[in-house]
Chain A
Amino acid sequence: MTENFFLDNQDLQFRLKQLDLRDVLEIKEQGYAYAQEYGTAPRNYADAMDNYHLLLEVLGDICANIIAPRAAEADEEGAQFIDGEVEYAAATQEAILALKQADLFGAMLPWKYGGLNLPETIYQMMIDIVSRAESGVMTVFGLQEIASTINEHADDETKDYFLPRFARGEVNGAMVLTEPDAGSDLGSVQTRAFFDEEAGTWRLNGVKRFITNGNADVHLILARSEAGSRDARGLSLFLLERDETVRIRRIESKLGIHASPTCEVQYDNTPAIMIGKQRFGLIRYSMALMNGARLAVGAQAIGIAEAAYREAYSYAHQRIQFNQPIAKLPAVSRMLLSMRAEIEASRALVCETGIWVDRLKAYEHLQSQRDKSIPDLRQKLKEASNLADVLTPLTKYYASEMGNRVCYVAMQIHGGVGYMNEFNIERLCRDVRVTNIYEGTSQLQIVAAIGKLLGHALDDLLDKWAAVDYGSALDSLKKQLAETTMLFKKATDALKEKESDIIDFYAADLADIASFVVISWLLLQDALVSQRRADIARVYIGEHVSKINALGTSIMKADKTALLARETILAEQF
């Protein structure tokens, strides 16, 4: 049998099987009425899930047989900057062509634009699979996300012009936010936009930096439309197609994801279309765009971790020391177990978050259509919005840190050879490193999540999961989790009462506890399905619960001791 990165991944297949997208698809597929109009649209729920399986199978085939075999080559050659233009590595060009021929670009776009109307959860599975094969090309593939933003916020004329070309894979996109002096603090973006009355169009001037795939045909760009303003409220979102006024000044030389060009781009009176409402560029649209991208980066980290785990697993079984494969040594098997549990835990989390994002989008769509078919729509929308808002940064934070941990341990299992270029793990370690940096660092994800966490945004969900009957075999795990969940709530209340700099100081700890609690309940639900799943839950919870409880206790006692030490320890350079 030929290799396939979906069919050889039992965890992904399990996640697909466990997904319950009934409510989402009922809305997204308009009660499956689209099936009358479009040959690819599903006739019913079972048909839709079968289609997703087929689609992931097609992707898994391409990733295993076309993209992954040339991953090292794509890394070594990397994207090049030649005569003012970016050229992808030959392997990357082949990868992009294959994904295009397979009609996998524009996959989330609605049927009418030639898309496959995919839900977010399925799209994240695609990102996971592509990233396992080669995480650099994932950024090119993943930037089809900007087509979704255009779909959600642009006017019909703009959509009709751009979206079918995205769906056919004729154009690709870049999300252009960062500037030399506006990284984490995007509110200080300086690229200027002015309305050229004579030409009747907006024009942009400025320089953007660290732009992933900045050589793309279509740019979604954040710029200052309100002259004299200084904060986020002066920024609007623009759409433009690259022409001679857009100049790629250079591309960065960087640690990993060499296949992905990171560009510095200059705009010189470039004509652009405004997307959505003026002055809502950052606070509404870029945030929504970034939230999608954040989830994708979480999935990317999982894909890289999956590749790293498989490298470590096969090496540990081949490498003989002390007359046995090192996989049999307890110290090594512990590392493998821990990696496996963490990867599966993260996938469960990405799926849960994906479902809430899908629900949010579906409900928002109903609301925009003034659809009254769901009586408690307003309440459902609020619930989905709350959960998507808190789970997205938490997922990006958890999955990208997890990916780094897994790659680190995978190299450790390889020992000395893992440090050498000949082995894939070295590349994976370099590639994964960016995942907890770009699309908002881990620290920024915590900032994004902490407000909601302190507002007990997860309580209803956790209470719902705690009310499930898990049976006697899982009773002790459930009890442990219930206690940790209680501690999480108490720690939340305790931290909420503290001064803001103490909250910021301990926020990471609360985010760790929250991630652990959410993931553990998800794994406990999986544990009902099979013995293996129950064991994964036991390994994961067993490994983390006491450390997490300790974090909870430390938050409860949180005071200014460590903060004050800044004054003495960090006061000067030692």
Chain B
Amino acid sequence: MTYNSIVLVKQVPDTRTVTGDVMSKKGTMNRSAMPAIFNPEDLNALEMALQVRERYGGQITVLTMGPLKAADILRDALFHGADNVILLSDRKFAGADTQATAYTLKSAIQKIGDFDLIFCGRQAIDGDTAQVGPQVAEKLNLPQITYTESIASMDGDEIIAKRAFDLGSEIVKCKLPCLLTVVGSADRIRPASARKRIENKLAAIPSEYPAIVEKWAEFETETALAAYLTERNLEITVWTAADLDVNEDQLGLSGSPTQVYKVNYVVLESTESKEVPPTKEGIRELIQELIQEYIVG
């Protein structure tokens, strides 16, 4: 039996290289000012989908919502072996919180239709909410396995997977179709394939055509390029709000109950310190204080 997968991915600012004014006055992020990368745990999710395809067959569709620039990570997904990629991009999607995002993704998944598994990274390194995956599952009325580290087996409409936590792990069985959120300790993404890297190098969305035509003189016009890309299935599908069966009030900023009220700049004072005497009594007091402050316990 083969299994079709949808992998939800996100282009995120590389929080390892945050600099300068990346926060707008409204409290949202100015994404164009930061280097953008494939969200790390989404790569683990993609690898898990690739392994399922390797073992059982099926198709992998990678879906992302974001600005047009997010086409970069979709190309990356193709280089690693995805069969199809779809970009959800529309001004109406902008400013979405986890609920509006989950609503949009859910609508796109319904449009894709045929799937057995949905994979996503546990959380994105920009928002760190870990909410989108579970919300998508709820909206689709699907069971979900969060914190998935590996898939033990799949048989008919049943999956057995391992969930990993700080203090241990859990083996669970679940009916398909279902959604899995994948943790960073799962297998890391395989290298890009040289063959697919070459084959898909021109995969593009229409807004990227002018740059391609300028670089590759053999495509005299954008129309000629478009024809070439269509013939080779290299057009990256872009869906806007109009392509989805959605209630526009539930999209983007207007569909987001979460509003950033205020952003505080926290300066950590390294001078704050307290000396604990190295006695049993001292340590006991320290532990009690940590428990009272809800830091441990």
Contact = CB atoms under 8 A, between A and B. Distances in A.
Interface of A: 39-40, 43-44, 46-47, 50-51, 54-55, 57-59, 61-62, 66, 98, 101-104, 107, 116
8 contacts: A40-B198, A40-B199, A46-B216, A50-B201, A54-B194, A62-B191, A101-B190, A102-B193
Contact of B194 (A39, A44, A55): A55
B192 interface: yes
Interface in B181-234: 190-199, 201, 216, 218, 232
A57 B198 CA distance: 11
B218 A103 contact: no
Given A39-B232, A43-B218, A44-B218, A54 B193 contact: no
Contacts of B199: 39-40
Contacts, number: 48
B218 A102 contact: no
A99 to B, nearest CB: 8
A166 to B, nearest CB: 14
B198 A98 contact: no
3 tightest Cβ-Cβ pairs between the two chains A and B: A103-B195, A58-B194, A101-B190
A58 to B, nearest CB: 4
A550 to B, nearest CB: 47
Given A39-B232, A54-B201, A104 B194 contact: yes
Contact of B191 (A47, A54, A102): A102
Contacts of A104: 194
A40 B196 CA distance: 8
Contacts of A40: 195, 198-199
B192 A61 contact: yes
A103 B194 contact: yes
Interface string B140-178: 000000000000000000000000000000000000000
A59 B191 CA distance: 9
Nearest to A58: B194
Nearest to A101: B190
Contacts of A59: 194
Nearest to A57: B197
Nearest to B190: A101
B201 to A, nearest CB: 6
Contacts of A44: 218
Contacts of B218: 43-44
A102 B216 contact: no
B232 A103 contact: no
A51 B191 CA distance: 17
A441 B26 CA distance: 71
A102 B198 contact: no
A107 B195 CA distance: 9
Contact of A98 (B190, B196, B201): B190
Given A51-B201, A58-B194, A116-B195, 15 more contacts: A39-B232, A40-B198, A40-B199, A43-B218, A54-B197, A54-B201, A55-B197, A58-B191, A98-B190, A98-B191, A101-B190, A101-B193, A103-B193, A103-B194, A103-B196
A66 B190 CA distance: 10
Interface in B86-141: none
A51 B198 contact: yes
B216 A47 contact: yes
A62 B194 CA distance: 11
Nearest to B81: A101
A104 B191 CA distance: 11
B76 to A, nearest CB: 12
Contacts of B201: 50-51, 54
Given A39-B232, A40-B199, A116 B216 contact: no
- Chain A CB count within 10 A is highest, among B192, B195, B199, for B195
A562 to B, nearest CB: 52
A54 B198 contact: yes
Contacts of B192: 58, 61, 102
B192 to A, nearest CB: 5
A357 B3 CA distance: 47
A50 B201 CA distance: 10
A104 B190 CA distance: 13
Contacts of B190: 98, 101
A107 B197 CA distance: 14
A61 B190 CA distance: 11
A66 to B, nearest CB: 7
A437 to B, nearest CB: 32
Contacts of A61: 191-192
Nearest to A104: B194
A54 B195 CA distance: 10
A59 B198 CA distance: 13
Contacts of A58: 191-194, 197
A341 to B, nearest CB: 31
A116 B197 CA distance: 12
A58 B194 CA distance: 6
A98 B193 CA distance: 9
Contacts of A55: 194, 197-198
Contacts of A101: 190-191, 193
Nearest to A62: B191
Given A40-B199, A43-B218, A102 B194 contact: yes
Nearest to A42: B198
A39 B202 CA distance: 11
Contacts of B216: 46-47
- Chain A CB count within 10 A is highest, among B198, B201, B218, B232, for B198
B213 to A, nearest CB: 14
B39 to A, nearest CB: 16
A66 B232 contact: no
Contacts of B198: 40, 51, 54-55, 116
B81 to A, nearest CB: 9
Nearest to B17: A1
Contacts of A54: 194, 197-198, 201
A103 B191 CA distance: 10
B17 to A, nearest CB: 10
Contacts of B196: 103
A54 B196 CA distance: 10
Contacts of A103: 193-196
B220 to A, nearest CB: 13
Contacts of B195: 40, 103, 116
A434 to B, nearest CB: 28
Contacts of B191: 58, 61-62, 66, 98, 101-102
Contacts of A116: 194-195, 198
A107 B198 CA distance: 13
A292 to B, nearest CB: 20
A442 B191 CA distance: 37
A356 to B, nearest CB: 25
